[in-house]
Amino acid sequence: MTRAIGIDPGTVSFDVCGRDGDELFLDATYPTADVRDDPASLVEVLHAAGPVDLIVGPSGYGLPWTDVRDLGPQELDLLLLADAKDGPRGTIVGGMGRVLEALKDSGLPVCFAPGVLHLTTVPEHRKANRIDMGTADKLCAVALAVWDQARRLDVPYDETSFVSVEAGGAFTAVVAVEGGAIVDGSGGTCGAMGFRALGAMDGELAYLLRGFSKDVLASGGAAWIAGAPECSPEEFAFAAASDRRAAVGLAALLEQVAKSVAAESILLEAPREILLSGRLSRVPALRRHLVEVLTRFAPVHAVKGYASVCSEAAQGAALLGQGLAGDGGLSDLVDAMGLRSACGSVLDHLFVSEAESLRRRHPLSRRLQVPFWERS
């Protein structure tokens, strides 16, 4: 039996999931603002859950499987890609530094997961000039989707095939899986519109904005188009039935998600399914709309996890924690997804004129070239 915890640091909530063998022992969600303001409260929850083999912690843009004890200024920069003060409203970034420092001081066995761009299963040419192909939490949500499809269709992990649509409370990520492994992805700042976030930004808009904070990346989405950026997904779905601006926001979101799914689908031989996860997929009206626009590509299913409260990403992180800690069946999941070979920096594949300057500002520590379980 292995005992692991997964953490999903969402824009709206911090979700925490614990598994002991096949048993769920922790299933909780906390407002992100509360965790950001009081990181010690998260540490208290983790200590109270009892001893664990591994915790897959809040990992931002990801690192190549890094032990919390190796977390220094360089690693923190690469996890967040932002100043610690950046993003007080629209993102977790404003308080993430304090959360990570609290975890480092806790003595808990925490590690940080890679993002999609770190994976060797993604061909190098698809990484050119990309950073956000899917953050670490989106990767963990995909891990749950692989686990779910394998169980539901009674196939090995390495025979799963689907396009994942993870529609969260702010960002949307669309990720392609073939043979159990991620082969491409478009993350929340690089692809389809999200509930609060605009998704991929027009380059000319980025130019006109000049320097801008992370808050801007978490704005411009469907709720902003509706004129109600702080509304809940449930309120938005209700308004879209009668309010013109909300209807425009919904149409924009659905069409952009469909475009992203179409783009990812052409990279797969024949995806078995389109799998939905994230906060929007749990709102019945929004889920129905997503199913309607995506059914043309493949059968659509909502990912069914094993917890009732916490997010799919937290559940997937717990599964990966168990696999890395030695659970035989879930070690197979880690291997099928090709996660052990994750490497490099999210800045490795940039070729724009300022690329070298960016890499000098955010260097990758030499010690991160080796996964944490092989380090002395």
CATH number reported for the structural domain that contains residue 231 in this entry: 3.30.420.40
Nearest-5° Cα angle at 138, 74 to 367: 25
Tell me how far the alpha carbon of residue 33 is from its chain's centroid.
Answer: 18
- The angle at the Cα of 169, spanning 166 to 175, to the nearest 5 degrees, equals 15
Identify the domain containing residue 216 by its residue range. 3-374
Q: Are the C-beta atoms of 148 and 333 separated by less than 8 Å?
A: no
Q: Are 143 and 196 in contact (CB under 8 A)?
A: no
pTM higher than 0.75: yes
Phi, psi of 284 (to 5 degrees): -50, -45
The encoded tokens of residue 199 equal 């998704």
Going by C-alpha positions, the residue among 126, 10, 5, 110 that lies closest to residue 60 is 10
Instruction: Give how many domains the chain has, as a whole number.
Output: 1
Residue 141, helix vs strand vs coil:
helix
Q: Three-class SS of residue 148?
A: helix
How would you write the pLDDT of the chain (376 residues) with one tens digit per residue? 899 999 999 888 999 999 999 999 999 999 999 999 999 999 999 999 999 999 999 999 999 999 999 998 889 889 998 754 544 444 455 578 889 999 999 999 999 999 999 999 999 999 999 999 999 999 999 999 999 999 999 999 999 999 999 999 999 999 999 999 999 999 999 999 999 999 999 999 999 999 888 889 999 999 999 999 999 999 999 999 999 999 999 999 999 999 999 999 999 999 999 999 999 999 999 999 999 999 999 999 999 999 999 999 999 999 999 999 999 899 999 999 999 999 999 999 999 999 999 998 888 766 555 555 565 4
Count of alpha carbons within 13 angstroms of residue 359, beta-carbon side? 15
